[in-house]
Amino acid sequence: MKRLFVVALMLAWAVTAQATTEDCKAIPWGASISAVESITYSHSVAGVKYYTVTKTEPCGVFKIKGANVTYGFLDGKLYTVLVEIAKAQDVKQVVATLMDSYGLPDHKKSDGWDEYRWETDELKIKLKSQFATDRIKIGMYYKPLIPKE
């Protein structure tokens, strides 16, 4: 595991150099659904309405080839972004990209999945990877909109 983080940190440096030249035009957290163009309704779960958006320029992990990105709106504001990658070419690069932005994650193994978790003042992020299948799931949640229990 320690070796994974060393490799990931080296990859993070490379991703950082590339990211500084990119102009990210992703949908801002908390943005109103009315401000988003080319949006298609997918489904609803627990009051969150999920959509696919075809007119946005993905950045970071959202730009990975084969990534299926779904945007969730709660009360009409961007609350969550879910990313699923069926056959990730490089799990380490995905983790490194997130580490570059959010630091070292908490890590645990659960039911054949590796789980990585990050938390910032504004976001909760969870990445689950299954090395046997190269499958990755990422959930990002905007903390100011997380429903109070």
Residue 10: the pLDDT is 28
Residue 79: the pLDDT is 95
CB atoms within 10 A of CB 85: 21
CA triplet 51, 90, 81: central angle to 5 degrees? Answer: 20
Query: What residues contact residue 90 under an 8 Å CB cut-off, 6+ apart?
Result: none
Nearest to 79 by CA among 140, 142, 138: 142
Residue 141: the pLDDT is 95
pLDDT band at 106 (very low <50, low <70, confident <90, very high): very high
Tell me if 33 sits within 8 A of 80, measured CB to CB: no
Residue 118: the pLDDT is 93
The helix or strand, by DSSP H or E, that contains position 42, with its residue range, turns out to be strand 39-45
94-104 burial, b at 16+ Cβ within 10 Å, e below that, comes to bbbbbbbbbee
Residue 112 confidence (pLDDT) above 80: yes
pTM of the model: 0.74
Biggest CA-to-CA distance, the chain: 45
- What's the mean per-residue pLDDT of the chain? 76
Encode pLDDT of 116-131 as tens digits. 999 999 999 999 988 7
What average pLDDT does this structure show over 90-95?
A: 74
Encode pLDDT of 50-75 as tens digits. 998 776 655 655 556 667 888 999 99
